[in-house]
Structure 1
Amino acid sequence: MTERLTRVQQQAVTRARLLDAAETLFGDRGIHQTSLDGIAAAAGLTKGAIYANFGSKGDLIAAILERKLGADEPEPPSASLAAWAGRLGDTYESAVDRPEIRRFALAFVELWLYGMRDGSARAPLAQWLQSVRDANAREAAELADDLPLPADQLAAVLLALDIGVSLQRLLDPRAVPVEVYTAGLKAILGRGPA
């Protein structure tokens, strides 16, 4: 016998289905070519389910980014900058080729372009990127006094490395092996992973 989901659990399942569908369609078709009706249909739900959970396409975009921030399990603090770099490299290498990462990367490119073209859509993406940079800058600053760049600049470079290597790898995985990211971390930080 299966347990019935509570209303809150059912709403979480519905939101996840809508976000998965939106993320997939945004990546496959583009944001402007994806309708709310299409998202609802892909999720096997009604358009009313979208409006019950999100006010607009913009709210869906913000929720996709928010979900990505919350998806990563908090890691225990690293003992050193080298250990942190090692953990970043290991995490990247184990995750980059997973289908859900590819799905998010495709949607992310669309979200990036959408934000670049539409000033009102820029804020959620800029906030998401800032949150990622802030988290990395905090951790780097806590681990070392002799960073190769100020912590906020280092965080921007590390995020650029992540995005840039990922996008190149998606297009040409043979030319851009997964180890390139970790090698780039080592080159930037001037230290080998622990």
Structure 2
Amino acid sequence: MTNSDRTPHPRRKGPGREEGKRRTRQQLLDAALTVFAREGFHAARLDDVAREAGLTKGAVYSNFASKEDLFLALYDHRLGEVAPRMVQAFARPGDERLEAIEAVLGEAAPNSTWLQLELEFCLFALRHESARLKLAERGRWVRQALHAALETHSVTLDRPLPVSVGVLAWTLPALTLALELQANVMPEDRPARVWPTLLRTLVGQESSRPSRAEEGCSSEGC
């Protein structure tokens, strides 16, 4: 037997191996969302995620460097679903555009669990520079996509936007989060169609005069 015969050949990564890695990663992401929702970001442990997924802690670390990176992978998945659909909505013609944008924002609005996790991670990021930089990078990506969509939208209007495209691209994500926070804290006081009304004003296609319900009038105050 020659030396070349004894030399081990590198193991090839076939489709089955890659599919197995993809399934393991998805198991961990699903388990992480369950554990984060139950325990909160701070209290959740990677041991709990591994147990929920029916895998070892080593499987977690072979896919994610830390709990922070695991959460950001969930965050990326969410952004990857919403951002392209938002860009497509802004590209729709005429009156269809605002309806499409409202639909995307309505579906993308964080539920109570995700809102809590997002706010909790934001506070974590303010105290940990590496997390802040990673979160800021994702925020810039969202703003760039939104900026491009708003520029395309602005050229179709017969009047200028009320504020610059750059200001709108910065404001809309923050306003969405703030509105959902307030709506979750005081759901009984939320005016009807508050977001569509604001959106139509901000992107330069004002709706007709809002009804008393849309203005937030209560039976006591109107």
TM-score between the two structures when normalised by the length of structure 1: 0.80
- Measure, in 2, the Cα distance between the counterparts of 1:160 and 1:115: 16
Deviation of the 1:7 alpha carbon = 3.0
- Residue 94 of structure 1, CA deviation: 4.0
8 Å contact from structure 1 (residues 27, 108) kept in 2: no
Aligned to 1:49: 59
How far off is 1:53 after superposition? 0.9
Q: Give the alignment's Cα RMSD to 1 decimal.
A: 2.6
**Partner AA of 1:90 in structure 2:** A
Alignment-derived partner of residue 174 in structure 1: 188
Q: Give the Cα–Cα distance (whole angstroms) in 1 for the partners of residues 52 and 69 of structure 2.
A: 18
| Residue 113 (structure 1) shift | 0.9
Q: Note if 1:86 corresponds to 2:99.
A: yes
Give 1:111's aligned residue: 121
Map 1:1-194 onto structure 2 (within 5 A). 6-72=16-82, 74-75=84-85, 76=88, 77-80=91-94, 83-96=96-109, 101-145=111-155, 146-176=160-190, 179-192=193-206
Count of aligned residue pairs for this structure pair: 185
Matching residue's letter, 1:32: H
Q: Is the 8 A contact 2:83 2:142 kept in 1?
A: no
Counterpart CA distance in 2 for 1:26 and 1:178 is: 31
Paired residue secondary structure (1:6): helix
Question: 2: CA distance between counterparts of 1:106 and 1:13?
Answer: 27
1:96 shift after superposition: 3.6
User: Residues 33-72 of structure 1: CA distance to partner in whole angstroms, max 9, x if unpaired?
Assistant: 2211112122222211101211222321331222122123
**Bigger Cα Rg:** 2
Gaps of 5+ in 2: 1-14, 208-222
Which consecutive segments of 4 or more residues in structure 1 shift more than 6 A? none
Q: Are the structure 2 counterparts of residues 11 and 65 from structure 1 closer, same or farther at C-alpha, using a change threshold of 3 Å?
A: same
Shift of 1:12: 2.3
Aligned mates of 1:20, 1:106 — CA distance in 2: 17
**1:18·1:39 contact (CA, 8 Å) conserved in 2?**
yes
Following TM superposition, by how much is the alpha carbon of 1:149 offset from its aligned partner in structure 2, in angstroms?
A: 1.9
Q: CA deviation at 1:78?
A: 2.2
Higher relative contact order (CA 8 A, sep 6+): 1
Question: Contact conserved, 1:161 with 1:184, CA < 8 A, in 2?
Answer: no
Partners of 1:134 and 1:25 in 2: CA distance:
32
